[in-house]
Amino acid sequence: MKKLKKIFWKILILQLFFYNNVLVHEVNYMKLYFNHLVALGNFIYIKTFGVEMEPSVVGMFKNTTLTLMGGIIGSCVLLFVTTTAGRLLGPVEYGKITLLVTLSQIIILFLLFGLDTTSLREITLAQNNTDKKLQASSCIGIFLCLSVIVGTVFF
């Protein structure tokens, strides 16, 4: 429990220090922060499963953490942009833009129609790099053709 508290306080101090000194050696602080976060994850993993994390689990933990951080940063930026656009454009113009974005997202659902999942599976099953490139290019081609067809029909 003492080790968990110690790691928690290090992360908290690094967060406060990182946000106050963003421009000064930000890469080193981010690596240090990330290493402490991995140490915290390893501590929780040891308490849960009784063994240390294997390198593959550490890699998965790092990738998951980066994805989560990217989602949080993206959500914060979207909140800022949405609020700013709503104030600058006014309710009528912002409503038009929101309607356009919503309609395009609905159309994208029908446009993809499982193409992203299928392309991921086919590219993974491909035996060599030329087959992977062929699968990727054909999926991109199909997506572009469907985009043109749906774009001409709906707009």
Q: How confident is the model at residue 4 (pLDDT cuts 50, 70, 90)?
A: low
Higher pLDDT, 81 or 17: 81
What is the rounded distance in angstroms from the CA atom of residue 149 to the CA atom of residue 2?
62
Give me the sign of the Cα torsion angle 131, 133, 134, 140. positive
pLDDT at 124: 81
| DSSP H or E stretch at residue 82 | helix 55-89
pLDDT at 24: 45
> Quick one: CA torsion of 45, 48, 51, 56, rounded to 10 degrees?
-40
Q: How many CB atoms lie within 10 A of CB 107?
A: 16
Q: Could you tell me the two tokens for 14?
A: 């690094």
What is the rounded distance in angstroms from the CA atom of residue 101 to the CA atom of residue 105?
6
Q: What is the largest CA-CA distance in the chain?
A: 63
pLDDT > 70: what percent of the chain?
Answer: 79
What is the rounded distance in angstroms from the CA atom of residue 3 to the CA atom of residue 78?
37
Residue 23 has pLDDT above 50, yes or no: no
Residue 134 has pLDDT above 80, yes or no: yes
Residue 112 has pLDDT above 70, yes or no: yes
For the chain, give every domain's residue range.
1-53, 95-155
Confirm whether pTM is higher than 0.85: no
pLDDT at 139: 80
Tell me which residue has tokens 């054909």: 138
